[in-house]
Amino acid sequence: MKNYFLACSLLVSASAHTIFTQLHVNGVAQGHTKGIRVPTYDGPITDVTSNDVICNGGPNPLRTPLPKDTINVKAGDTLTTEWHHTLDSAGTGDVSDPIDKGHLGPIMVYLAKVDNALTTTVTGLKWFKIYEDGMDASGEWAVTRLYNNKGKVSFKLPSCIQSGQYLLRAELIALHGAANYPGAQLYMECAQINVTGGGSANPATVSFPGAYKGSDPGIKFQLYWPKPTSYTIPGPRPFTC
Ligand SMILES: *[C@@H]1O[C@H](CO)[C@@H](O)[C@H](O)[C@H]1NC(C)=O
Ligand SMILES: [Cu+2]
């Protein structure tokens, strides 16, 4: 009986996905989709071994041409990623904006240093995580905090990272179907940024695909019953200066 109800709730929320649509720098909105490689469909990536897990694409073709803007930021700035159900759902009263409330899971941000943030090649990049938020001690999820904050998630750009251009990969994982793999729904977009005023840090890096396995406890995860008491966020712990 319980499984029957869960299956139904999955069907209801199946299409209520999400997209990272805007970057804010120290509280200043940079413009809708500016500098962000947004997909034309808001669906998830579920194959963690696919190249589509890098900066989306594949089943959700990226909008072309890719953005020509690179967003200027300073090391140490506070950045905010703003997420919405679809590219155009902000402010429409859509009850699934910024995301369906049942899409519970973690939120993460990674950076990869690139020679030119307009590069179309995203394979082979070396990524380091700068932010993560999972489930807190009360059982509340990062996605619930995002929902309550109207789709916004803020974090600090480490002050010691090297100046230069980066792709910023913001990721949200919905775990409602994650009891088996594939099932976890990965949502991610990459923003094109140019960092000034940085330092000389050399953070340890991971690859995408590669950073996650289908068997990771944060990818194959039972969200409902027994009620989870802890959650291990996938990937490395965030780099700090
Ligand atoms: C990045 O910032 C530096 C320093 O302000 C500037 O010289 C350079 O033109 C910027 N690059 C891009 C792509 O915006
Ligand atoms: Cu969804």
Q: Calculate how far, in angstroms, residue 96's C-alpha sits from the geometric centre of ligand 2.
A: 10
The chain-wide mean pLDDT, for the chain, equals: 94
Distance from chain centroid for Cα 33: 15
In the predicted structure, residue 109 carries a pLDDT above the cut 50: yes
Q: What percent of the chain has pLDDT over 90?
A: 93
Mean pLDDT of 205-234: 97
Write out the H or E segment, with its range, that includes residue 15. Answer: none
Q: Residue 12 — very low, low, confident or very high, per pLDDT cuts 50/70/90?
A: very low
| Structure tokens, 32 | 């809708």
Q: In the Cβ-directed half-sphere of 173, how many Cα atoms lie within 13 Å?
A: 30
Give me the mean pLDDT over the 123-137 stretch: 98
Q: What is the pLDDT of residue 7?
A: 42
pLDDT over 90 (residue 30): yes
Q: How confident is the model at residue 188 (pLDDT cuts 50, 70, 90)?
A: very high
Which of 30, 68, 70, 72 should be mutated for ligand 1, with most atoms under 8 A from CB?
Answer: 72
Domain boundaries, the chain: 2-196
Which residues share a beta bridge with 82? 22, 152
Q: Which atom of ligand 1 is nearest to the CA of 117?
A: 13
Asked if pLDDT for residue 170 goes beyond 50, the answer is yes
Mean pLDDT on 10-36: 87
C-alpha of 129 from chain center: 11
Report how far apart, in Å, the C-alpha atoms of 209 and of each of 49, 119, 137 are: 5, 18, 30
Question: What architecture is domain 2-196?
Answer: Distorted Sandwich (2.70)
Give the distance between the most distant pair of CA atoms in the chain. 58
What is the reported pLDDT for 16?
79
- Catalytic-residue membership of 32: no
Question: What mean pLDDT is predicted for residues 188-198?
Answer: 98
Calpha distance 234→220 (Å, rounded): 10
Complete DSSP assignment for 98-135: SS-TT----EEEEEEEES-TT-S--TT--EEEEEEE-B
Rounded to whole angstroms, the Cα distance separating 76 from 198 reads 8
């949200």: which residue's tokens? 172
Instruction: Evaluate whether 84 touches 97 at the Cβ level (below 8 Å).
Output: yes
Higher pLDDT, 179 or 16: 179
Mutate which of 68, 192, 195, 196 for ligand 1 pocket (most atoms within 8 A of beta carbon): 196
Ligand 2: distance of its center to the CA of 151 in Å? 15
Mean pLDDT of the 26-42 span: 98
Q: Does ligand 1 have an atom closer than 6 angstroms to the CB of 194? A: yes
Give 19: exposed, middle or buried? Use CB within 10 Å, 0-12, 13-18, 19+.
buried
In this prediction, residues 90-117 reach a mean pLDDT of: 96
pLDDT at 2: 42
Q: What is the pLDDT of residue 9?
A: 44
Bond before 59 cis per omega within 30 degrees: no
Spatial contact of 141 and 104, defined as CB atoms under 8 Å apart: yes
Reported confidence tier of residue 116, pLDDT bands at 50, 70, 90: very high
Contacts of 120 (CB under 8 A, 6+ apart): 66
* Ligand 1 mean position, distance from CA 20 (Å): 24
| pLDDT on residue 177 | 96
Cα separation, 127 vs 204, whole angstroms: 8
pLDDT at 6: 47
β-pairing, 185-196 with 71-74? parallel
